[in-house]
């Protein structure tokens, strides 16, 4: 009643209830408003019900809070700095609402505030209690959202009737439910990036600006192509280092590097890239061992895709020297994937970023290095034998 009277743009994101609705989806869709059947969804025992609040559609923030309290709700508002403004000196520090928790009797509504971000996705913040807040207000540990910041595709919504109440839910509840466990988001480190550029001046030559622009377009095209194929990927090597160290593409890197788990490999990756105008430059290794693909972007920029293999206690990707057939192996500690924002896109990076970068570049990764030998410089490189000459036609293909 409160949200519909006050035009608060909310939609249901509670995983427990969405799962129940999804099991019974056809029947729920055909239930008309006001039909009073038994309460089978919202009456399932639990401490919270989670809704998302679509912040940019919301007009009456202050009035809403007062009315809620007049109706008997006890509400807690959690605010924090707006990370979208961290890159802008004069605006950093502006506070935005991240979470509302409203309690009535022995149930609480968790309103997760979803903010629009560059790259057409929605973001919610970390639920951090400030010093003066009552830690016993609700059982915070049972909350499904807010343990860390999260990012979601912008969902299309549909209105349905649940237990006689009209609510909005994501049109594709299955996709939304699949996103929840993998939604963790990490911000680019603007403060450290600024310090980096104070120490090492940014390269603003025409060549550097042109390279960054082309690399950004190449990365966006690669992301679009892999997303269409349903292949997960992340920023790897120098592209990952540029994101983490300086929130930007390293202008002297000359290529764009992506990682893909070998179990996500699809045989039509090569043709999909060729169809969007990125011809194959080389293919080293094979699916069972050390696969690596390189595509030619415009103006001599390469897109390198490294495939990662999982062992019991580490991951690795392979390298091949074309003229000798020598194989190399690059070892990484195990990692998981998180979202971040880079070049106006929601994109994956290793959550354990420092460990990943240190494996690749050593402890001194904060210092820019312009000469790099892929066979010797990385601290995590190991010789890995040599390809038998009989296999060269298959495992060393140059175009």
Q: Which of 182, 204, 219 is the last residue of a domain?
A: 182
Residue 128 has pLDDT above 70, yes or no: yes
Q: Which of 182, 208, 238 is the last residue of a domain?
A: 182
End-to-end CA distance of the chain: 65
CA–CA gap between residue 328 and residue 288 (Å, rounded): 15
Asked if residue 376 and residue 333 are part of one domain, the reply reads yes
Give mean pLDDT, residues 112-126.
Answer: 95
Name the β-bridge partners of 339: 185, 348
Asked if residue 136 and residue 217 are part of one domain, the reply reads no
Model confidence at 356, pLDDT cuts 50, 70, 90, reads very high
Residue 85 has pLDDT above 80, yes or no: yes
Asked if residue 271 and residue 178 are part of one domain, the reply reads no
Tens digit of pLDDT for each residue in 183-241? 999 999 999 999 999 999 888 999 999 999 999 999 999 999 999 999 999 999 999 99
Q: Which residues of 297-312 are buried (b: 16+ CB within 10 A; e: fewer)?
A: beeebbbbbbbbbeee
Domain count, the chain: 2
Asked if residue 135 and residue 93 are part of one domain, the reply reads yes
Q: Which domain holds residue 45?
A: 4-182
CATH of the domain at 126: 3.30.460
Contact (Cβ atoms closer than 8 angstroms) between residue 253 and residue 337: no
Integer CA distances (angstroms), 107 to 16, 104, 228, in order:
15, 6, 41
Asked if residue 169 and residue 75 are part of one domain, the reply reads yes
Asked if residue 384 and residue 236 are part of one domain, the reply reads yes
Q: Which of 182, 212, 236 is the last residue of a domain?
A: 182
Asked if residue 372 and residue 285 are part of one domain, the reply reads yes
Asked if residue 299 and residue 278 are part of one domain, the reply reads yes
Output the pLDDT for position 36.
61
Residue 316 has pLDDT above 70, yes or no: yes
Q: Is 32 exposed, middle or buried (0-12, 13-18, 19+ CB in 10 A)?
A: exposed
């Amino acid at each position: 009643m409160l949200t519909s009277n006050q035009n608060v743009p909310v939609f249901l994101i509670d995983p427990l209830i969405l799962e129940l609705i999804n099991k019974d989806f056809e029947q729920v869709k055909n239930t008309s408003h006001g039909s009073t059947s038994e309460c089978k969804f919202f009456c399932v025992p639990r401490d919270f019900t989670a809704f998302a609040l679509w912040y940019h559609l919301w007009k009456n923030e202050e009035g809403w809070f007062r009315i809620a309290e007049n109706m008997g709700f006890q509400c807690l508002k959690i605010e924090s700095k707006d990370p979208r403004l961290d890159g802008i000196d004069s605006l950093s520090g502006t506070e935005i609402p991240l979470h509302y928790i409203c309690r009535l009797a022995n149930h609480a509504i968790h309103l997760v505030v979803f903010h629009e971000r560059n790259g057409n996705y929605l973001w919610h913040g970390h639920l951090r209690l400030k010093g003066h807040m009552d830690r016993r207000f609700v059982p915070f540990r049972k909350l499904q959202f807010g343990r860390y910041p999260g990012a979601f595709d912008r969902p299309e919504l549909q209105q349905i009737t649940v237990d006689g109440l009209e609510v909005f839910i994501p049109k594709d509840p299955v996709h939304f439910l699949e996103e929840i466990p993998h939604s963790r988001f990490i911000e680019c480190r603007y403060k450290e990036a600024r310090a980096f550029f104070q120490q090492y001046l940014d390269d603003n030559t025409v060549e550097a600006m042109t390279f960054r622009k082309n690399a950004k377009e190449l990365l966006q095209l690669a992301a679009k192509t892999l997303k269409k194929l349903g292949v997960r990927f992340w920023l790897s090597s120098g592209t990952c280092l540029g994101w983490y160290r300086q929130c930007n593409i390293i202008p002297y890197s000359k290529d764009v590097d992506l990682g893909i788990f070998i179990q996500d490999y699809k045989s039509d990756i090569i043709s999909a890239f060729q169809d969007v105008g990125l011809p194959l430059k080389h293919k080293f290794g094979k699916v069972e061992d050390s696969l690596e693909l390189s595509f030619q972007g415009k103006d001599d920029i390469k897109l390198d895709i490294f495939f990662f293999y999982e062992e019991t206690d580490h991951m690795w990707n392979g390298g091949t020297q074309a003229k000798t057939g020598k194989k190399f192996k690059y070892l990484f500690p195990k990692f998981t994937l998180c979202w971040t924002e880079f070049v106006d896109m929601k994109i994956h990076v290793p959550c354990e970023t420092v460990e990943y970068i240190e494996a690749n570049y050593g402890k001194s990764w904060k210092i820019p290095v312009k000469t790099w030998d892929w066979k010797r410089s990385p601290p995590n490189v190991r010789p890995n034998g040599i390809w038998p000459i009989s296999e060269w036609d298959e495992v060393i293909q140059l175009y």
